[in-house]
């Protein structure tokens, strides 16, 4: 079964439009966890345009006090500030992404070969028995990319599903993207890496993804689930995504 981690960035971005304390990031975290989500994800960026550092600490305190079995996944580019934040908060999972600070959202995976030494040093610094490290991975990384990711010492890769999500109006193209994702997932599992997935996954495209790419341990979903929550509420949207991942 693929677990659901709800990305709360869109909630924080809506809150930040006004100098007001709502919608509450911790409040929505409670809602999705009570509805069955296995964890929450945040991606704090240097400009704090959505998740703020204070959110990270408040969510960490919430999960430790009220949801000790839930997973806290923090994504980000491994700058020194980010690494120090991770060491202070100690989440169960860290997902390293190759984002430029000016990017609106993640749009590519790591160059595992070119950045292998850098990633290895970061993984060695962050990895602990109670913390897994995941690396954002292009859907067509293939055997060579997966081998280079494995060599860093990481525990998992996160498949970047954005190119597949962008094919909602082109079924033939979607099949090609799914085939690439399935191949990379297969190589990763064979290499002993766990596999996560995320980006532009929706209730409409999850069934085909789940059928084509077996073995994904966790999906991190934010924009799609937030959009659906505007219509049905976060609790119901969370339940629907859990059902789709089953």
| Interatomic CA distance for residues 215 and 169, integer angstroms | 26
| Interatomic CA distance for residues 59 and 77, integer angstroms | 20
Annotated active-site residue in 50, 71, 158, 199: 199
Alpha carbon 69 to chain centroid distance?
A: 18
Annotated active-site residue in 71, 75, 158, 218: 75
Sign of CA dihedral 149, 150, 156, 160: positive
Question: Is position 199 annotated as part of the catalytic site?
Answer: yes
Cα dist from 136 to 96, 160, 187, 196, 235, whole Å: 6, 7, 15, 9, 28
Question: Is position 218 annotated as part of the catalytic site?
Answer: no
Number of H-type helices and E-type strands within the chain: 11, 8
From the list 104, 118, 103, 176, the residue with the least C-alpha distance to 149 is 118
Annotated active-site residue in 43, 50, 71, 218: 43
| Interatomic CA distance for residues 172 and 48, integer angstroms | 38
Contacts of 135 (CB under 8 A, 6+ apart): 95, 96, 109, 110, 112, 119, 149, 152, 154, 156, 157, 158
DSSP 47-83: T-SSS-HHHHHHHHHHHHHH-TTSEEEEEE---HHHH
Tokens of 105: 């959202």
Residues recognised as catalytic = 43, 75, 199
């Amino acid at each position: 079964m693929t677990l659901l981690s709800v990305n709360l960035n869109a909630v924080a971005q809506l809150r930040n439009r006004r100098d007001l304390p709502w919608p509450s990031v911790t409040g929505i975290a409670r809602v999705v966890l009570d509805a069955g989500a296995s964890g929450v994800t945040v991606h704090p960026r240097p400009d704090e345009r959505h998740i703020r550092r204070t959110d990270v600490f408040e969510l960490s305190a919430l999960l430790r006090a009220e949801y000790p079995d839930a997973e806290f996944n923090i994504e980000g580019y491994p700058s020194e500030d980010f690494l120090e934040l991770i060491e202070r908060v100690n989440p169960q999972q860290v997902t390293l992404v190759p984002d430029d600070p000016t990017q609106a959202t993640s749009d590519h995976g790591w160059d595992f070969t070119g950045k292998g030494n850098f990633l290895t040093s970061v993984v060695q610094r962050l990895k602990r028995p109670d913390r897994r490290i995941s690396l954002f991975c292009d859907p067509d990384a293939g055997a060579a990319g997966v081998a280079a990711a494995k060599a860093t010492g990481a525990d998992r890769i996160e498949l970047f599903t954005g190119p597949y999500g962008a094919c909602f109006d082109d079924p033939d193209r979607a099949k090609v993207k799914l085939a690439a994702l399935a191949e990379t997932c297969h190589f990763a599992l064979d290499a002993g890496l766990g596999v996560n997935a995320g980006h532009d996954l929706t209730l409409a495209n999850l069934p085909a993804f789940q059928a084509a790419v077996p073995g994904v341990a966790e999906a991190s979903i934010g924009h799609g689930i937030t959009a659906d929550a505007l219509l049905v509420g976060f609790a119901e949207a969370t339940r629907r995504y859990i059902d789709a991942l089953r």
